[in-house]
Structure 1
Amino acid sequence: MSTPDRESTSRPVAIVTGGSRNIGRAIALALGAAGMAVVIVARSDRDAAETVVRELEALGTQATLMLADVAREASADLIVEHALERFGRLDILVNNAAIRREKPVEAMSFAEWREILAICLDGAFLLSRAAIPHLAASPAGAIVNIGGLTAYTGAPNRAHVVAAKAGLDGLTKALAVELAPRGITVNLVSPGRIGTDRSHASAEKNPAHHARNQTLLGREGTPEEVAAMVAYLAGPAARFLTGQTLHVNGGAFLP
């Protein structure tokens, strides 16, 4: 990958993994609307990622993209380096990349189990580890992990997804304790039933658990409602919040 011209900025800079569609796209746009420069990370869909970059630039902010597999250890350093080379700083990391497939556990291969955990959980660990020194140098460093409702309710045919998202909850608490002395907040946003485009291979079109997890409000949420919570946690008003799980689920789950 060629190195882009450096474009140092006084804006806060955020990395958003899985930022090319659905909740990730909405998060990127919400952060951009809040005045942040955004690095969009996508595994393979350059066209979708470039569209989000254009949308961010239309908002008057700076944006760039990087195609990378967050499950690969070498990718984490490259993603962080890309942000620093382009913008000269890093303030926010949003670990959103995930795939949500379904398969009965007795039919699930170890490779299928590992694929989900590698992207959802290993990727968050690797990116956080690479970002920590730079977030600590920020006056408002923050990590926001994106969890999921089934980590708390369980779901059929999703042992790998449930385990990965539950692991993110634990990682959030562990990092919040460890990184608080360095001024980095770490929180998790757990979406419930959100109306998203499920035509991509990374998600099931009709998840089985949707029939069980009805909302009190009688509707699905929107990606923008999840993104609003992420933008809040990434902003100056949330500096006294850390180690928390914020549920955006319309009352489908009451912790």
Structure 2
Amino acid sequence: MGMLNRTDRPLQGKVAMVTGASRRIGRAVALGLAQAGADVVVHARQSRDEVEAVAAEIRAMGGRAAVALGDVTVEAEVMAVFDVARKAFGGVDILINNAAIRGEKPFLEMTLEEWRQTNSVIMDGAFLCSREALRSMVERGGGTVINLGGVSAHVGAKRRAHVAAGKAGLIGLTKSIAVEFADRNITANCVAPGKIGGKRSATSGASPEMGSGGPILGREGEIDEAAFVILSLCMPEARFMTGQTVHVSGGMYMP
């Protein structure tokens, strides 16, 4: 991948869990973490072939990977996913909460079920995965939680009120984890990508109309450009950064 352009393995001995790791940013982050020396648990809800392919790529570069399938909105399935991590590698030091669905629906046509389903994947998933990961991090003496937000939470988006609301909720969750676990050597940050190109999943929908003029750089971002920022926050040099939301959107939003 060459994403970090470093020859050392700063995450040697660490275990990372990446949810929604079968494609796009999740896949790139999983590969980058492995390149940096981490053992990686690659998760997907049900796309076993795709996630097994990611694990095979990690093993081909000399890394260690385990595959875990499960619905992040179902408590028992999340616990089973983390059991995979414990049995394979002894626990988790790094959690990337990347699993999400990004459907579209005009606000006045949105059903309560659609609202709840989207927010359940984003918020319930991040809560359940963070809780299990943090239990492990406390035992292991520290760790890193990275939540994947989105620019829509900051600028708004037509037909995506449910997504924007869920992603905004992740900011509060991130800050609360950062405060509560600071004295246990655990950091938590949120990365908010915007207008990242590449092939999208079926649940992503079209590119939404947002309350922003688009990236001021005049182009979509690359998947590796978003993954680089996420990976940087996992590095030993980033231990003084916590509770922050980092924007990777080409200037679509400037706090």
Common fold by TM > 0.5: yes
Task: Tell me if structure 2 keeps the 8 A contact 1:68–1:79.
Answer: yes
Q: Following superposition of structure 1 onto structure 2, how do residues 174-185 of structure 1 map, counting pairs within 5 Å?
A: 174-185=176-187
Q: Following superposition of structure 1 onto structure 2, how do residues 88-127 of structure 1 map, counting pairs within 5 Å?
A: 88-127=90-129
Partner of 1:40, secondary structure, is strand
Q: 2:138 aligns with which of 136, 139, 159?
A: 136
Aligned residue number for residue 45 of structure 2: 43
| C-alpha displacement of 1:207 | 1.9
Aligned residue number for residue 250 of structure 2: 250
Partner of 2:181, secondary structure, is helix
Identity between Structure 1 and Structure 2 (%): 48
Q: Given residue 72 of structure 1, which amino acid in structure 2 is its aligned partner?
A: V
| C-alpha displacement of 1:89 | 2.7
User: How big is each residue's C-alpha offset from its partner over 1:85-130, in whole Å with a ceiling of 9 and x where there is no partner?
Assistant: 0111311011000010110111111111111111111100011111
| C-alpha displacement of 1:247 | 0.6
Q: Give me the whole-angstrom Cα distance separating, in 2, the residues matched to 1:80 and 1:181.
A: 24
Q: Following superposition of structure 1 onto structure 2, how do residues 169-208 of structure 1 map, counting pairs within 5 Å?
A: 169-198=171-200, 200-204=201-205, 206-208=206-208
Q: For this pair of structures, how many residues does the alignment match?
A: 245
Q: Give me the whole-angstrom Cα distance separating, in 2, the residues matched to 1:67 and 1:119.
A: 15
Q: Given residue 202 of structure 1, which amino acid in structure 2 is its aligned partner?
A: T
Q: Give me the whole-angstrom Cα distance separating, in 2, the residues matched to 1:27 and 1:146.
A: 12
| C-alpha displacement of 1:196 | 2.6
| C-alpha displacement of 1:191 | 0.3
**2:237 paired with 1:237:** yes
**2:86 paired with 1:78:** no
Q: 1:178 to 1:211 in 2, by over 3 A?
A: closer
Q: Give me the whole-angstrom Cα distance separating, in 1, the residues matched to 2:97 and 2:133.
A: 11
| C-alpha displacement of 1:49 | 0.5
Q: Given residue 207 of structure 1, which amino acid in structure 2 is its aligned partner?
A: S
Partner of 2:105, secondary structure, is coil
TM-score by length of 2: 0.92
Q: Give me the whole-angstrom Cα distance separating, in 1, the residues matched to 2:140 and 2:236.
A: 12
Q: 1:60 to 1:140 in 2, by over 3 A?
A: farther
Partner of 1:186, secondary structure, is strand
| C-alpha displacement of 1:138 | 3.0
Q: Given residue 145 of structure 1, which amino acid in structure 2 is its aligned partner?
A: N
Q: 1:69 to 1:237 in 2, by over 3 A?
A: same
Aligned residue number for residue 15 of structure 1: 17
Q: Give me the whole-angstrom Cα distance separating, in 2, the residues matched to 1:137 and 1:166.
A: 29
**Contiguous gaps of at least 5 residues in structure 1:** 1-9
**Contiguous gaps of at least 5 residues in structure 2:** 1-11
Q: Give me the whole-angstrom Cα distance separating, in 1, the residues matched to 2:174 and 2:198.
A: 25
Task: Tell me if structure 2 keeps the 8 A contact 1:140–1:239.
Answer: no
TM-score by length of 1: 0.92
The RMSD of aligned alpha carbons is 1.5
Partner of 2:37, secondary structure, is coil
Q: Give me the whole-angstrom Cα distance separating, in 2, the residues matched to 1:232 and 1:24.
A: 14
Aligned residue number for residue 7 of structure 1: none
Q: Give me the whole-angstrom Cα distance separating, in 1, the residues matched to 2:228 and 2:88.
A: 26
| C-alpha displacement of 1:239 | 0.6
Aligned residue number for residue 32 of structure 2: 30
